[in-house]
Amino acid sequence: MAEESTTPDLVELTRHAFGAANSHDLDVLMGFFAPEALYDLSDLALGTFEGAVAIRSFIEDWWGTWGEHLLEAEEIVDLGHGVVFTAIREDGRLVGSDGHVEQRRGWILLWTRGMIESFTAFLDPDEARPAAERLAEERE
């Protein structure tokens, strides 16, 4: 009888986190974050948030700015050693506006024991990918 792997499928976990984000289910989404996780949006000029309470507060505020909101994962790649690169498209309409907003971003998720230890967003997905690759190499 073959043994099942105890290593979580990080691409699948990332997809589940996207599902929680798209349904704006904050409780489920926060279940993916380690208690002391780091949420780094400094490349977007939005700051850095440390710990689940601060991350939850930021996400709740961020979602409150959207009348309609959707995240689409254009690419999710497990680079090894817990590092996942994601190219995303964020699409929607801001509260009080008829205008449509669309932006592409690159995200790096660092998973440890099935939880997000660190999340880093980049303005340019083409800058995020090599940063994610370097991080995976450093963790070898």
pLDDT tens digits, one per residue of 27-59 = 999 999 999 999 999 999 999 999 999 999 999
Strand partners for 94: 66
Helix intervals (H) in the chain: 10-22, 26-30, 52-64, 125-138
Domain boundaries defined on the chain: 10-138
The mean pLDDT of 10-38, rounded to a whole number, is: 96
CATH architecture of residue range(s) 10-138: Roll (3.10)
Q: State residue 7's pLDDT score.
A: 57
Q: Which helix (H) or strand (E) holds 75?
A: strand 66-80
Sorting pLDDT into bands at 50, 70 and 90, what band is 11? Answer: very high
Question: Tens digits of per-residue pLDDT, 76-116?
Answer: 999 999 999 999 999 999 999 998 999 999 999 999 999 99
Sorting pLDDT into bands at 50, 70 and 90, what band is 74? Answer: very high
